[in-house]
Structure 1
Amino acid sequence: MASIVVAEDDSDIAELLATVLSNAGHSVRTAQTGPDALTVIAEAHPDLIILDHHMPGMSGLDVAERLRAEGPTAATPVIMLSAAAPAAARGLVDVTISKPVRPKHLLEAAMELLASRESGAGHAAADAANHLVDVGRLLAVSDYLTRPAHAEALDTFAADLARLTGAPMAAISLVLNDSVVVAGSFGLPKWVQEAGGVPVEWSPDTIVVAEDVPVLISDSTTSDDEFADTPLFSITGIRSYASVPLNSSEGHVVGTLCVMDDKPGTCTEDTVQILHSQRAAAVSLLSRAG
């Protein structure tokens, strides 16, 4: 049995998660605000911490920063729950899980992290990196890349995506192990269009594909974002970014839908929800034969 702290301001969600974890044999304490979470964590010395990102008082990201800075909790496994995890969370938490949360998914992630803690091994980051170079996933991406191009239709889709979200730049991408290939775009800088994409290390889409989660950057200059100094952001001046995964029929994450702006604050959780609503249409368009 493990000791787990769940910090979630929605009491119904907190009760559901606590019930699922308790039924699995764990001892669970809950908190509804960021400051309360820190207090409960200090009292309980948990084996695992589950943080909602948006909480009163302090965000989940703020709480995670405090936990990582303090000796007793620096190595404690942390799961973040969010409709769109901030990119900066990647260096602070072990796993991000998208809302609405599937209890089975949360329980599986919790069990894996607790097992890793007991064995003294941290597998979350390695698993994410391995997912990016997974052979099955790369074969699925290759299948889309070898289909006849529908550049005009994909560009039109990207233009519609920009209109729906209010962002001046949008793209449909396919992500290989070393590059983000732009399949359709609207408003992207000319040098990105001419290159056909960017290296994976320049793009937050790396996180989206490796971890199968959406990513939201409200302002790259204030979020301590690991991509802020890459050419995609520093040369183009991108400040706001939102991206969601595109999954093949077999479940592989083959690419992303993303929008961006050189102004901060354009991309919000509402933006992420709009992107989610367009995923099926984007995959259908990518799947069409010529």
Structure 2
Amino acid sequence: MSPSPSPGRASGSVVPWLGAVAVLQFVHLAAVATSLQDAHRLSLVGDVAGWTVGLLAVLGTLAAALSFAPGDYLRRVWGLLTVGAGLSLLSTALRSYWMHAVPDVPFVASPLLPVRMVVVVLANVSTTFALVMLARTYQQSGLQPPSSPRATLLWAVAAVSALVVGGPALVTAMGHLGKDFASTCTAVIGLASTLADMTTILLVAPILRVAYMLRGGRLAWVWWAMGVSGAVWLFYDAREWLGMVLPGNPTETVELLRTLRTSGLAMLGLAGWLQRSALAVTQRESHAGAAVSPS
């Protein structure tokens, strides 16, 4: 039987992928930084970045879903993540189409706005439900780490972070409900996104705990990638008030922080590819073990 991959080899195989995500983030950040004085160019940069990471998220989650057998619980989990990523990409496509087809009319005045509202709500529901299912899966399988003061503190930090980041956004969005049709649609989009991201931030705690418990193995990198993705959304959602406290022009700072969406979606796609890779390695080792076992 061939030896199991060592933690070092597993880490080494992940490093290039993490580097690729870092490069994507840097390129997007640099492109935005050099486009802050040109609104049209800034929109184009966001459009290209949205398509790029959106496709990566869809392909990664789809690869993970297809690596499991039909009817497998985790196939449904990754399938829901694929649906969420696909709907998110559709949301990008709607904005992209309008930006190129009717460049002189803002998207909030577009008849596609209510369509995008429905798409965004469904995307957030799918992704959030999938993450909850994922957390429940590993809890039921016995991978739930034991309770400890450190774990309680991590939960508390996640809960406070979710409230601090999402609370003001929820209040603001609710204040726009009923003002007019466009404002209501935009508010619903904001509410759905904020509630989903708050749930994701809460789930960062159990995800990172499982990742730490599995440290050294290939499957741990799936959880680390998911955890980092959730943590990135924390800063993405906090961009408005971070823009006010960080040095520099608040508007420009918000635009720079908006690029974190690239890392959030790219890490989700990477988690999917890592899940597929980890499962493939496990299956190969299982087949190799069966081949050398005495009959």
Q: TM-score, normalised by structure 1?
A: 0.25
- Larger gyration radius, structure 1 or structure 2: 2
| Bigger fraction of residues in strand | 1
Q: TM-score, normalised by structure 2?
A: 0.25
